[in-house]
Structure 1
């Protein structure tokens, strides 16, 4: 007996994250756009965790969308292995003697 499989996706290797569907990805970016945008508008910067290349790409896309929406550039950069920082001009990380921004929270 042959069975047809609908809505079946291959699973990533054991322990890896499951990929988002197109709709889930769209909704995740919309939520980040609203939530991160509100914090950036309030204080000029935001730090957000990003552990995988997909999460980092998602934050870069959100920064581009915010830049287009506001008409001013939203800068994005990796703070370390587990966090990205999005900020407006003039709200970037404060340089230290060794050239790194000081972290007050953990990963």
Structure 2
């Protein structure tokens, strides 16, 4: 017997990230925009984990959108292999402790 498969997506290789649908991606960026934007507005900077290239691209896009919304640049800097830092002018790289 042959069965038709509807709404089935391929799974990535074991251990790889699962791609988000367009709606999930939009909701993720909106949530990051609101949550990270609040912290940056209050403290001038925020650190957020980004383990994959997709997550890094998403955070860079969020920083760009925040900059457009506020009318001032929001910079992005890699802290290490697993985290990015979003910050406003004057809150750049902290001095080494």
Task: Output the TM-score relative to the length of structure 1.
Answer: 0.86
- Classify the secondary structure of the residue corresponding to 1:6: coil
- Classify the secondary structure of the residue corresponding to 2:69: helix
1:77 aligns with: 77
Equivalences, count: 97
- Structure with the greater relative contact order (CA < 8 A, sep ≥ 6): 1 or 2? 2
Deviations 1:42-89 (A, max 9, x none): 000000000000000000000000001000000001100010000000
CA distance in 1, matches of 2:47, 2:55: 13
Q: After TM superposition, what 4+ stretches of structure 1 lie above 6 angstroms from structure 2?
A: none
Task: Output the TM-score relative to the length of structure 2.
Answer: 0.94
Give unpaired runs (5+ residues) of structure 1. Answer: 97-101, 103-107
Superposition pairs of residues 50-69 of structure 1, within 5 angstroms: 50-69=50-69
TM-align CA RMSD: 1.1
1:47 aligns with: 47
Deviations 1:1-41 (A, max 9, x none): 43222111100001112111110000000000000000000
CA distance in 2, matches of 1:86, 1:33: 11
